[in-house]
A and B are shown apart, each in its own frame.
Chain A
Amino acid sequence: MTSRRARGVLAGDQSSKGSAAGVSSHIVIIGAGQAGLSAAEALRKRGHDGPVTLIGEEDAPPYQRPPLSKGYLSGELPADRLWLKPPAFYDMAKITLRTGVRVTALDRAAKRVITADGEAIGYDRLILATGGAARRPAIPGADLPGVHVLRTLAEADALSAALQGARRLAIIGAGYIGLEVAASARKRGLEVSVLEAADRPMSRTASPLLGGWFGALHRGYGVDLQVSAGVAAITGAQRADGVRLSDGERIEADVVLIAAGLNPGVSLAEAAGLDCADGVLVDAHARTSDRDIFAIGDMARFDSELYGRSLRLESVQNAIEQAKAAAAAICGAPAPYDPVPWFWSDQYAIKLQIAGLIEGADQMVRRGDPEEGAFALFHLKDGVLIACEAVNSAPEFMTAQRMIAARARPDPDRLRDVTVAMREFLS
């Protein structure tokens, strides 16, 4: 159902191609994260001459989120190395950056956005890049002081400050954020428990073998990782002092982090009547059900021809590339977006790189030895490569990206043979 609606939007777009916004039109971008900033930059690179206003709810200028759970939290990367652009960039590119401004409503009829202060900002084209907020599941005690989530710089600062002087951290959720924070907190010398309701880490996105391997990695670094561990409550009277599992066990902690994924920021779009279904529905040009409104990044759901279903991707690559697609369409040079998704994660000395999405795979081919700390897992569906999980294996990752885009059907025996160079699969 989702895909049919989005395809309808796409068809409409193709029939009226060429109605680009005039060079002097005003583009307003709501959300000053990676996606919003990338859109502003791409508009200028594409030659858009009119005003560009980039509105961010957070006080900080556009910054990189990935280090918040990694180098920034472990203390290796100072805040001034998070900024995506120096202050001079916004002047040079004539981008009006307005931080600390919350947009509360879209007025589509009058083509303007309304801020919390009641200000109305008119637009010719609007780009929604509102990302999302860290989920806070309804766990008893989740509102206690000492319970943290991690999505924004302010949240990272709050978590980091709380870890200062703390001894024990309990993390609810063993997804990427949970595990990256576990690694960073171990580096800072904390005792860390990770509590995961599923039977393995990264159960939502990674294969069982990879999830199990990362579980063992964390245990090797002294993390108390518990799987199939449902959380009954966060305990504490005045502030959090631990977590109680559904089997009654209690984990003591000075700080609790809930790492339970993202709530996509769709409330503005929904209230304005744009088509939404776990994300704002967009076509291959990032256009929503309103022709003058685009949506990009973590909260945009688009149809993937490559995967034959709609996707909502939470990644830097998606933020940047979908932003470029929106800018291209706005500037009258549409270039459809159908990416091979890719992701990375750094934990301890391990670099994980993932190309593609494993969902739907019916065959897994292992290349290299997990015991050696460098290996790749190739996932095929009906003989076609659809994903690769590469642990300290950049050639496998880089090659797989190209093979997935080409819908390659590699010979599994050659794929698992480490004496066959990855390059050979590209010829």
Chain B
Amino acid sequence: MGSDVFMAKITYIEASGAEHAVDVEDGLTVMEGAIRNLVPGIDADCGGACACATCHVYVDSDWADRTGPRSSMEESMLDFASDVRDNSRLSCQIKVSEALDGLIVRLPEQQG
């Protein structure tokens, strides 16, 4: 892992309000950023294959444009997650880049 790899600052806020501000390597997903930094509340049972809907997050409204739209597969999977809102995303489908430096995502009460 070279030192020239860009790290984006991402803040994960648990349903309880606990905040985790961590640096996530460019190219990983927001889900992987949580797992690697021991942020609780994201299960990601399928490991990022968009097959299980257990990495559900809410993207802070200021960031919705930059995280891009949901894919149709993601849309379908999200339909069946609990407490889905307009800003719901599967965090395994959001790729971290320089554009997401400062991203804030909130975690639901529960996954699945």
- A176 CB to closest chain B CB (Å) equals 13
Q: Are B46 and A316 in contact (CB under 8 A)?
A: yes
Cross-chain contact of A86 among B38, B47, B50, B52 (Cβ < 8 A): B38
Question: What total of A-B pairs shows CB separation below 8 Å?
Answer: 50
Q: Is the CB of B49 within 8 A of A85?
A: no
Chain A residue at smallest Cβ distance from B1: A80
Closest B residue by C-beta to A394: B76
**Known A-B contacts A81-B32, A316-B47; A398 and B53 likewise in contact (beta carbons under 8 Å):** yes
CA distance A231 to B28 in the complex (A): 42
Given A351-B73, A398-B80, A85-B47 contact (CB < 8 Å): no
Chain B residues near A317 (CB-CB < 8 A): 45, 52
Q: B-side binding surface: helix, strand, loop or mixed? A: loop
Are B79 and A398 touching (Cβ within 8 A)?
yes
Q: Scan A209-234; emit 1 where CB is below 8 A from any B CB, else 0.
A: 00000000000000000000000000
Question: Is A64 a contact partner of B76 (Cβ separation < 8 A)?
Answer: no
Asked whether A346 is an interface residue with its Cβ less than 8 Å from the other chain, the reply is yes
Interface hits, B28-74 → A, CB 8 Å:
28, 32, 35-38, 45-47, 49-53, 73
Cα(A29)–Cα(B92), bound, Å: 29
Q: Which of A85, A344, A398, A399 sits near B46, CB closer than 8 Å?
A: A344
Selected from A64, A89, A398, the residue in CB contact (under 8 A) with B77 is: A398
- Docked-complex contact A394 and B35, CB < 8 angstroms: no
Interface residues in B, total, Cβ within 8 A? 20
Contacts of A398 in B (CB 8 A): 53, 76-77, 79-80
- Using C-beta atoms within 8 Å of the partner chain, give the interface range for chain A: 20 to 34
User: Which residues of chain B are within 8 angstroms of A175 by Cβ–Cβ distance?
Assistant: none
Give the Cβ gap from A402 to chain B, nearest Cβ, in Å. 8
A392 to B77, CA, bound (A): 11
Q: Is the CB of A344 within 8 A of B35?
A: no
**A residues 390-416 touching B (CB-CB < 8 Å):** 392-395, 398-399, 402
Report which A residues bind B (CB closer than 8 A): 64, 66-67, 80-81, 84-86, 88-89, 92, 316-317, 320, 344, 346, 351, 353, 392-395, 398-399, 402, 423
